[in-house]
Structure 1
Amino acid sequence: MRSIGHFIGGKHVKGTSGRFADVFEPMTGEVQAQVALASKAETRAAIENAKAAQPDWAATNPQRRTRVLMKFLELVARDNDAMAELLAREHGKTIPDAKGDILRGVEVVEFALGIPHLMKGEYTEGAGPGIDLYSMRQPLGVVAGITPFNFPAMIPMWKFAPAIACGNAFILKPSERDPGVPMKLAELMLEAGLPPGILNVVNGDKESVDAILDDRDIAAVGFVGSSSIAQYIYERAAATGKRAQCFGGAKNHMIIMPDADMDQSVDALIGAGYGAAGERCMAVSVAVPVGKTTADRLMEKLIPRVESLKIGLSTDPTADYGPLVTKAALERVKDYVEIGIKEGAKLAVDGRGFKMQGYEKGFYMGGCLFDNVTKDMRIYKEEIFGPVLSVVRAKDFDEAVALPSDHEYGNGVAIFTRDGDAAREFAAKVNVGMVGINVPIPVPVAYYTFGGWKRSGFGDLNQYGPDSVRFYTKTKTVTSRWPSGVKEGADFSIPTS
């Protein structure tokens, strides 16, 4: 059985806390590895190591920092197949989906290659008599990322690539459920030429998280996970003066207007609702057909598609999706289905009885589809994070807009329509951070930025894109005047132009 420790100072380090967590293979339900859970002292050691390494890295010019990232991209491409299989075996998503996980992280690394330009400051000559004014962006020092199980390649790269490009050292605390790929990414960064200590990986649970949050040498922390924990991390980080960007749960709606292409809409719901077994923060979990006729047409086409979903091994190239990440996750989703039934929703497709032949202990579940869901039900209000789609019927456009706008989560939303005016009005009105028009999963490209509203996001700055450079740097402004021509004597008035 594999034993996974930490990665500190460019070396694999065994855990010393005496605490471990099991890493399961979701396909079989068997334990495939044990990961060490760091103590407060181990976490502190990683931070001290990063703090010692960071000044020299910050003094390295941006072009040279960029070259490390360029080499890292080459190495990720070289090891892409092996990493995708490792990811699939620890998480449960299919290999094509795992490769997508890696690719979306790579895109942010590619964005970070522009850091020599992105970190440029501003300059004004003659801001006052003989005075020049300029600004510079400087790294914060040591920063940290606490990342989730559902994207073990993408979100670590979203966090550490711009942070390191800006000249910071980075402490990564990945999910203990699937730590293999984050450890591999750290190895590849070292192989690419990153100095030891600039990317340290500390595996752990709440003890290591709290150690990061309470440590005054950590200047900023980013998090992705559930909303309750996002709020906890945001508040605790703020108590020690840290910057924090914390992203939480979601309940992403997809509005289907009467004029929408129904086949296209159903395809979108199947892929966005059931891909990766629904374990995506941008998964569509609520379908909102507008009008009874639209709803009836949608259900007529959707039911057979959900019933025919192919659930299989993560390594099966023909599978639509694989198992959930753990048995606890599987049981949680099944519990929500039972709650929906008790609340009075109509379970049009019940996938709870699915068993994978030969892999009966794996964490598999068939697709579930609810109709006649109402906004007072728990299955509508709470994030299920599984292969469950709820259909909430809206009588008109205004009611459809109000549903995602009034929901406590505000991560992503989509509308499917042929009406440009309706789409434009929807995009302007809806109270959600990311909007798709005939695009079911509106994850922006890497040179924009990713972030939800309301309880989906805590903090003023989003992930990746220009916001990441602002988040991982501080601005210093210099007002400069040289002695020639400066009159003698004290001036007691505030300087003006």
Structure 2
Amino acid sequence: MTTSPMAQLVPSYAQGQWWTPAGDPAGTQVLDANTGELLARVNSDGLDLAGMVNYGRTVGQRELGKLSLHERALVLKELAQYLNARREELYALSFQTGATKIDSMVDIDGGIGVLFTYSSKGRRELPNSNVILDGPMEVLSKDGSFAGEHIYTRIPGVAAQINAFNFPVWGMLEKFAPAFIAGVPTIAKPATPTGYVAEAAVRLMVESGLLPEGSLQLISGSARTLLDELDYRDVLAFTGSASTANSLKAHVNVVEGGVRFTCETDSLNAAILGPDAVPGTPEFDAFVKSMVTEMTVKAGQKCTAIRRAIVPQGMVPDVVAAVGARLDARIVVGDPRAEGVTMGALASLEQLRDVRGAVEEMIAAGGELAYGTLDAPVVRSTSGEDSVVDAGAFMSPLLLTWDDVRNQAVHGLEAFGPVSSVIGYADLDEAIELAAMGSGSLVATVCTNDGETARVLTTGIAAHHGRVHMLNRETARSSTGHGSPVPHLVHGGPGRAGGGEELGGIRAVKHHMQRTAIQGSPNLLTAVTGVWHTGADRVIAGAAEFGAVEGAIHPFRKSLAELNIGDAFASPLRRVSLEEITAFAHETGDTFYAHVDNAAAEANPFFPGIVAHGYLLVSWAAGLFVQPAPGPVLANYGLENLRFITPVPAGDSIRVTLTAKKITPRVTDEYGEVAWDAVINNQDGEIVATYDVLTLVEKEDVTYKNWK
């Protein structure tokens, strides 16, 4: 990999090319967080931001639009594999930010993991198209000729992202992945102190050759007038301080221009220890371990770190002592490239000054330092020596206690480093009140093995938090942890935390799409969505008396190359006998009275007497539509949305109509999925049952040809 020479300008990637300012402008200096050595300079003066936005809206949109949701998801997998094979190159740079190997894994491996997860979820949960249905069709006319529903389509602009310094890789990729699947080009702006790591990741992504042109651009340095160039077509996602977020929110293009704005800001996250979790219990040990982890991973520079440990009043000294003992036993502060170091430096000297200043303000307001020191700590260097280092941004882990548990400083000041406070509560109601005093947070932990305590605390604080992590002896080993957002679940929080939402599986993809209500005939809805709608045209094979077209081929004999939405089969009628119902009841053991006792069945308001089992009817339906010989249909892998509507007594008859509803070719396999709309009717045309049959079907009819 080719990276920018140290102390040279970190380049931007704009309009398909690497860019640095003309001449040799000074720019902002970026230092090694451990040694103070000059690493690089950053300057975006003269960068054509308007051109970047236009390039994304035109070239990026065009090239991404050539791929389906599944195809873009597959690119993410290939990109993740490419980065995974080269992550050591990113580790080497990450160490310079003060990150240990574990910190770097959280950032780099975690970011790559997001790509893998979104690739998998995108291909499993989304259609292989560019339109996503949202909910069922709504019939808007008596005869069914006019209907409506909701669809998602990608927004026509760019996804601009302004990221924080603490996770230069993960922070970028967790925003990039869902935007990419949605088909929206990304313009990434990393924070200056660690932006060189993000630049290296982007360089690898570009060098992979996997990205469609225009799908990713990078601003190294100030975003300057980027927001001036955005409008209602675009989305801006920000991670950082509340003050900066508020200034962005106030921009005219957000207030009046319709820019979609989401943010994640300050968060005074809490961890609540239940009254049952006394010293000696697995819950107490798990709580202490979680506190130490959250104080020291990334040197506490995590928006999800535990800032307030809310514990029973009588256990405050126990928690302080246990956390202090674990810190003493496990934490070695120093250069992360040195042997044995478990906590590195803060990201910059400016960050060190900010954190120390916040702690000093908290102490002045009434906090008491219960563990650690504000003095420069003894740190381990790469030579193995332990000494005080003035040049690095090193800090001791700090634990504070408070006599006044409602002091606004503990609930309002965030020291964004290895700092946490322990405050006591009298009862669960007070614990809930104290947690809520954070005015909205990203995450809280509830640590208890008592179900009622978990219920009271979780429901009490849920509306104040984006995520609640419940910790007990059953999850102590398997939990991903208090401070680890996972791509499957939403990341964000109300109030002080910014009111935004990221991740959450496919929810994040839809954040980059517009939900639109569409109305029209079933035929037009089918044409727009690629999904057959009840009432739309069909080509029916099978029983002529039920509308079959002469010479039409049974759709189960068609490969994906031949099958069309609306291809259907209508079966003949099959009579239901009492003997068959009775035999099925005794063979299966399902002797529910409605199937075996006529008097009891007649007394039930839903049944006219003995009726056929619903599952018997579904089994018969399969026998009515199945094609037994080998062919393109490889397997039936399930049913969805099964509903039994009209009971079927002995003497009635049933038939089934099967319609190709949705066709999803797999981009990596020689087969795809077909969802079939199945409707069972009785001899009077009344609907007996409705459901979707799911099958795997070959793209070409290879199986049948080989069998013959």
Answer yes or no: is the 8 Å Cα contact 2:185–2:215 preserved in 1. Answer: yes
Asked if 2 retains the 8 angstrom alpha-carbon contact of 1:234 and 1:245, the reply is no
Distance in 1, matches of 2:56 and 2:454, equals 48
2:257 corresponding residue in structure 1: 240
The answer to whether structure 1 residue 273 and structure 2 residue 295 are counterparts is: yes
Within the candidate set 384, 393, 409, 1:363 is matched to 393
> In 2 relative to 1, CA 301–61 (structure 1 residues): closer, same or farther, beyond 3 Å?
closer
Residue 218 and residue 232 in structure 1: after superposition, are their counterparts in 2 closer, same or farther (change >3 A)? farther
**What percent of counterpart residues are identical?**
23
Kept in 2, the 8 Å contact 1:231–1:458? The answer is no
8 Å Cα contact 2:288/2:322 also seen in 1: yes
Cα contact 1:137–1:473 (8 A) shared by 2: yes
SS in 2 for 1:144: strand
In structure 2, what residue type is equivalent to 1:331? R
Q: Distance in 1 between matches of 2:286 and 2:333?
A: 22
Q: Does the alignment pair 1:433 with 2:458?
A: no
Change (3 A) 1:319 1:59: same
User: 1:490 maps to which residue?
Assistant: none
Distance 2:438 2:356 in 1: 23
**C-alpha distance in 2 between matches for 1:288 and 1:216:** 43
1:487 equivalent in structure 2: none
- Would the aligned equivalents of 2:362 and 2:410 in 1 still touch at CA under 8 Å? yes
Post-superposition shift, 1:359? 4.2
Q: Could you tell me how far 1:454 is from its partner in structure 2? A: 1.1
Corresponding residue SS for 2:234: strand
In structure 1, the gaps of 5 or more residues are 485-497
2:132 to 120, 124, 133: 120
Cα distance, 1:68–1:416 mapped onto 2, change above 3 Å: same
> How many angstroms apart in 1 are the aligned matches of 2:238 and 2:403?
31
Distance 2:367 2:138 in 1: 67
Which deviations, in whole Å up to 9, do the C-alpha atoms of 1:304-357 show, x marking residues without a partner? 333453112122363221001111111122223322332332212233221433
Task: Report what 1:446 is aligned to.
Answer: 487
Partners of 1:77 and 1:103 in 2: CA distance? 7
Do the aligned partners of 1:434 and 1:443 also contact (CA within 8 Å) in 2? no
* Equivalent position of 1:326 in the other structure: 348
- The residue type paired with residue 121 of structure 1 is L
Mapping of residues 297-336 of structure 1, within 5 Å: 297-308=318-329, 309-316=331-338, 318-336=340-358
- Range with bigger deviation, 124-133 or 407-416: 124-133
Counterparts of 1:323 and 1:442, CA distance in 2: 19
Bigger mean CA offset, 161-170 vs 111-120: 111-120
User: Pairwise mapping of residues 73-472 of structure 1 onto structure 2 (< 5 A)?
Assistant: 73-89=80-96, 91-113=97-119, 114-115=121-122, 117-118=125-126, 120-121=132-133, 124=137, 128=141, 129-131=144-146, 133=148, 135-140=150-155, 141-190=157-206, 191-205=208-222, 208-216=223-231, 219-236=234-251, 237-260=254-277, 261=281, 262-292=284-314, 294-308=315-329, 309-316=331-338, 318-353=340-375, 354-356=377-379, 357=387, 359-372=389-402, 374=404, 375-430=406-461, 431-438=464-471, 441=482, 443-459=484-500, 461-472=501-512
Change beyond 3 A, Cα 1:133–1:335: closer
Normalised by the length of structure 1, the TM-score is 0.89
The answer on whether the counterparts of 1:27 and 1:313 sit within 8 Å (CA) in structure 2 is: yes
Aligned counterparts of 1:404 and 1:290: Cα–Cα separation in 2 = 13
Secondary structure of 1:414 counterpart: strand
- Quick one: structure 1 residues 131 and 341, their matched pair in 2 at CA, closer, same or farther if it must change by over 3 Å? closer
8 Å contact from structure 1 (residues 50, 197) kept in 2: yes
Choose from 515, 520, 523 the match for 1:480: 520
Computing the radius of gyration from Cα coordinates, the structure with the larger value is 2
Moved more, 339-348 or 12-21: 12-21
How much does 1:110 deviate? Answer: 2.5
Structure 1 Cα separation of the partners of residues 361 and 149 of structure 2: 60
1:372-413 residue CA offsets vs partner (Å, 9 max, x unmatched): 253325244211101112111212222111111122232211
Using a 3 Å threshold, how does the CA distance of structure 1 residues 202 and 36 change in structure 2: closer, same or farther? same
- CA distance in structure 2 between the partners assigned to 1:227 and 1:56 by the alignment: 35
Q: C-alpha distance in 2, partners of 1:93/1:67?
A: 31
Matches within 5 A, 1:43-62: 43-53=49-59, 54-62=61-69
Match of 2:78 in 1: 71
User: Would the alpha carbon gap of residues 257 and 172 (structure 1) be closer, same or farther in structure 2, given more than 3 Å must change?
Assistant: same
Deviation at 1:257, TM superposition (A): 2.4
- Contact map agreement 1:22 1:33 (CA 8 A) in 2: yes
- TM-score for both structures, normalised by structure 2: 0.63
8 A Cα contact 1:231 1:246, kept in partner: no
Q: Residue 338 and residue 124 in structure 1: after superposition, are their counterparts in 2 closer, same or farther (change >3 A)?
A: closer
Q: Secondary structure at the match of 2:237?
A: strand
What is the rounded CA distance, in whole Å, between the counterparts of 1:61 and 1:340 in structure 2? 53
- Deviates most, 437-446 or 265-274: 437-446
Change (3 A) 1:450 1:467: same
- Which has the higher mean CA deviation after the structures are superposed, 343-352 or 447-456? 343-352
Check conservation: 1:252, 1:284, Cα contact below 8 A.
yes
How far the C-alpha of 1:44 sits from its partner, in A, is 1.6
Residue pair 1:273, 1:389 contacting (<8 A) in 2 also: yes
In structure 2, give the amino acid aligned to 1:233.
L
Q: 1:131–1:82: structure 2 CA closer, same or farther, 3 Å change rule?
A: same
Indicate how the Cα distance of structure 1 residues 192 and 359 shifts in structure 2: closer, same or farther if over 3 A, else same. farther
Asked if structure 2 preserves the Cα contact closer than 8 Å seen for 1:238 and 1:244, the reply is no
| 8 Å CA contact 2:233, 2:259 repeated in 1 | yes
For 2:232 and 2:150, locate their aligned partners in 1 and report how far apart those are by CA, in whole Å.
25
Q: Which residue of 1 aligns with 2:593?
A: none
Letter in 1 for 2:520: S
Q: Distance in 2 between matches of 1:175 and 1:447?
A: 25
CA distance in 1, matches of 2:212, 2:450: 54
Question: Structure 1 pair 78/25, CA: closer, same or farther in 2 (3 Å)?
Answer: same
Distance 1:421 1:16, change over 3 A: farther
Structure 2 residue runs without a partner (length 5+): 1-6, 380-386, 472-478, 525-708
Alignment partners' CA distance in 2, 1:423 and 1:482: 48
Deviation string, structure 1 residues 203-258 (Cα, Å, up to 9, x no partner): 222xx254235533761110111112222223322332111111110111111223
Q: CA deviation at 1:269?
A: 0.9
**How many residues are matched?**
478
Structure-2 change in CA distance of 1:134 and 1:302 (3 Å) = closer
SS at match of 1:97: helix
Deviation string, structure 1 residues 89-130 (Cα, Å, up to 9, x no partner): 1x2121221111123323332233233543522564975443
Change (3 A) 1:482 1:310: closer
CA–CA separation in structure 1 for the residues paired with 2:457 and 2:339: 37
* Distance (Å, rounded) in 1 between the aligned partners of 2:117 and 2:308: 32
